[in-house]
Amino acid sequence: MVQAALGDLDVADLPSKTVAALRLADLLTEPRPEIGPDVFESLRADLEPGEILELAAAISVGSGWQRMIEAFGIRPDHWSEATPLPWQGDTPVPTV
């Protein structure tokens, strides 16, 4: 399922509800996310409005947390100084 989710969602062998959730995650993690009425209606084909709101809130918290980690260069505890941060290529960054 993970491999299917990483590929083209238009041809992924996944439940339609899963594809809708992944599309929402993609939209909300763009640099300037926007969910217009047409996008909301397309999501409603597979998700209830409450599910969309719940999922959007969870995605936003996770995405915001990741942005904060990247902004401050926070390195997970189990990584060493020599472990490169995945969002900055091969260059190690000092921990905060």
- Domain of 48 in residue numbering reads as 15-88
Q: What is the pLDDT of residue 91?
A: 53
Q: Structural domain tally of the chain?
A: 1
Residue 85 dihedral angles phi and psi, to the nearest 5°: -80, 130
Q: What is the pLDDT of residue 7?
A: 79
Task: List average pLDDT for each run of 10 residues in the chain, which is 96 residues long.
Answer: 79 91 93 92 96 96 89 77 68 51
Residue 6 belongs to some domain of the structure = no
Residue 93 belongs to some domain of the structure = no
Residue 65 CB contacts under 8 Å (≥ 6 apart), including other chains: none
With residue 39 as reference, give the H or E element that holds it.
helix 37-44
